[in-house]
Amino acid sequence: MKQFFTVLGGMGTLATESYVRLLDKRTPIHRDQDYLDYIVVNHATVPDRTTWILDHSKPDYNQDLIEDIKQQSLLKPAFFVLICNTAHYAFDRLQAATDIPILNMLQETVNEIKKIKPDAKKVGLLATRGTVEAGLYDHYITAAGYEEVKPTPEIVDMTEDLIYHDIKEGGHSDGKKYHELVRRMIEEEGADIVILGCTELSYAEEMNPETEYPVADSQSIIVDRSLEKGLALRKNN
């Protein structure tokens, strides 16, 4: 297979399945051969990213991802897609393991805000405790000229309950919980738009789309970038 890309997934599996569904759904097709060529690495046993970020004595997830990147680099994909916001904590370390570009989900998400909510000034964030406490989105948000609105400890707890209890453990989303999180960030914390900074939240958005408040869905956005680059590969082949 030539002119393909590799998806580094499994963090978690439902979120990776959501990425693939959205990618295939948005691909303009008339026959089997119109779909994009890609490899999905569903590495479900990668250690939890937040656990390591909060305590470096725990298993380091980066070792598993670096091994995946090196293995896949031998096949020479055109680019990598990393389906996990929190894994971007060591993005430079992962990129250093290969000469093949890895799409930066965090940068792409913030770039898209000006299209979704052109008048936005305050950007809220819903994400795992690891992403929030490590400030993974901080630089991208402030560099783009926005004021960041971080979730309160209570909202982080509610977010992780949805991510870990409902989706990762239960295998399903809870639309009511998801919509309440977005509402609180907008109405109570004053955000103009909310970044869904965890692919489990993107899964929640796919299952129960937010229709009242503006969100920047990190996974949906990286799907669009993947599609653009994938179609360009097809065109240039």
Whether the Cβ atoms of residue 194 and residue 125 lie closer than 8 Å to each other: yes
- Cα separation, 10 vs 27, in Å, equals 22
Sheet with strand 122-126: strands edge to edge: 147-149, 122-126, 193-196, 215-217
Is 84 labeled as catalytic in the residue annotation? Answer: yes
Is 157 labeled as catalytic in the residue annotation? Answer: no
Q: Which entry of 82, 84, 105, 141 is annotated as an active-site residue?
A: 84
Locate tokens 């691909």: which residue? 27
Which amino acid is residue 101, in one-letter code? P
Q: CB-based contacts of 133: which residues, under 8 Å, 6+ apart?
A: 53, 54
Q: Which entry of 198, 215, 216, 222 is annotated as an active-site residue?
A: 198
- Annotated catalytic residues are 84, 198
